[in-house]
Structure formats: structure tokens, C-alpha cells
């Protein structure tokens, strides 16, 4: 059974010209792109996207960062797409959690600048896809 997930290449990934690398790994894994767009992120969208982190100490920095430059937003589809993309991304901390061979493990150094976002559950995926691509 196919499912969908929301993927973001965050401002650090776009600034470092890693968009092609991310998309290439998604495609080579066998996942399909069903939406893809370079977007500036209004603060309100960032707040809604990261609403579950509103009480965290890093929330302000997170909003600042995600609105600091364009992101690439994508909807990715395939069997177990949510887990499959999280496998490609690697753990949140690019050094302590992500292993080499993953996007964060290969290209990241800091938790805040961890290159990509992927939905973490079917509920988040639905909420995030509605938020970023309403009507899809
Ligand atoms: P993401 O998968 O987009 O979901 C929440 C984001 O918060 C996470 O990736 C990181 O970029 C960021 N984040 C999580 N923990 C920390 C932390 N301790 N310090 C700074 N940023 C964090």
C-alpha cells in the first residue's frame, strides 16, 4: 500500500546546493515525487509546521532558520514512504544519530542545520501535506 510524506530541503540544504543530491536519493530509493516546489516560508507557515515544538527552547531559532532562505518542499509517495524517507535522512542529530550513508550522516554537522525534514507519522504527513500543498 502506498503512502505519502512531506519532505523539505531546508535552507541549509538549498544554500549548499544539495537539492539534486536529496532528490536523486529519493528517486534512486524508488520513491516518486508527486509535488515539488521552491518556496519562501512565511513565518506563519513555519509556526504551523513546527507547532508541536512551540514550547521547546530552540523554537525561536528553528523559526528563524527555516524562514532564512528558500526551501524545497516535496510530496513523496511510495510503499512505506514515511519510514523510507526517514531512513534516507538519518537521525535528527547528524553526528550522534545519523549514520554515514544517510543524507544527514553524509552532509550534516549540527542538529539545527540538518538539511532535510520528513514527516514522522501518517498523521503528521497528512497535516503537513495539507499545510504545504492544500488541495493535493
Ligand atoms: P525536523 O525533523 O525538521 O523537526 C524538528 C527540528 O527541530 C529538527 O528537524 C531540528 O532541525 C530541530 N531541532 C531538534 N532538536 C534541536 C535542538 N536540540 N537544537 C536545535 N534544533 C533542534
Check: complex ipTM more than 0.90: yes
Q: Whole domain around residue 83: which residue ranges?
A: 2-132
Taking CA atoms only, the protein residue closest to ligand 1 atom 10 is 112
Q: How far is the CA of 17 from the centre of ligand 1 (A)?
A: 21
- CATH number of the domain within which 72 lies: 3.30.70.141
Summarize pLDDT for 70-107 with one digit per residue, the tens.
999 999 999 999 999 999 999 999 999 999 999 999 99
pLDDT at 75: 98
Backbone angles phi, psi at 78, to 5 degrees: 165, 175
Q: Which of 23, 20, 14 shows the shortest CA–CA distance to 65?
A: 14
**β-strand pairing of 2-9 with 116-118:** antiparallel
Summarize pLDDT for 20-42 with one digit per residue, the tens.
999 999 999 999 999 999 999 99
Query: Which of the listed residues 52, 60, 62 should we mutate to test ligand 1's pocket, taking the one with most ligand atoms within 8 A of CB?
Result: 62
DSSP3 helix / strand / coil % (the chain, rounded to 5): 45, 20, 35
Name the domain count of the chain: 1
Q: Catalogue the active-site residues.
A: 117
- Give me Rg for the CA atoms of the chain: 14
Q: How far is the CA of 61 from the centre of ligand 1 (A)?
A: 10
Amino acid at each position: 500500500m502506498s503512502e505519502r510524506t512531506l519532505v523539505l530541503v531546508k535552507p541549509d540544504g538549498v544554500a549548499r546546493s544539495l537539492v539534486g543530491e536529496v532528490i536523486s536519493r529519493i528517486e534512486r530509493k524508488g520513491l516518486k515525487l508527486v509535488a515539488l516546489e521552491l518556496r519562501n516560508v512565511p513565518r506563519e507557515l513555519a509556526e504551523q509546521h513546527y507547532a508541536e515544538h512551540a514550547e521547546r527552547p530552540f523554537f525561536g531559532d528553528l523559526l528563524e532558520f527555516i524562514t532564512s532562505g528558500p526551501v524545497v518542499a516535496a510530496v513523496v509517495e511510495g510503499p512505506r514512504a514515511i519510514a523510507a524517507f526517514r531512513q534516507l535522512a538519518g537521525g535528527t542529530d547528524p553526528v550522534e544519530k545519523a549514520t554515514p550513508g544517510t543524507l544527514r550522516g553524509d552532509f550534516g554537522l549540527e542538529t539545527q542545520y540538518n538539511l532535510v525534514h520528513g514527516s514522522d507519522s501518517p498523521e503528521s504527513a497528512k497535516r503537513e501535506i495539507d499545510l504545504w500543498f492544500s488541495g493535493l
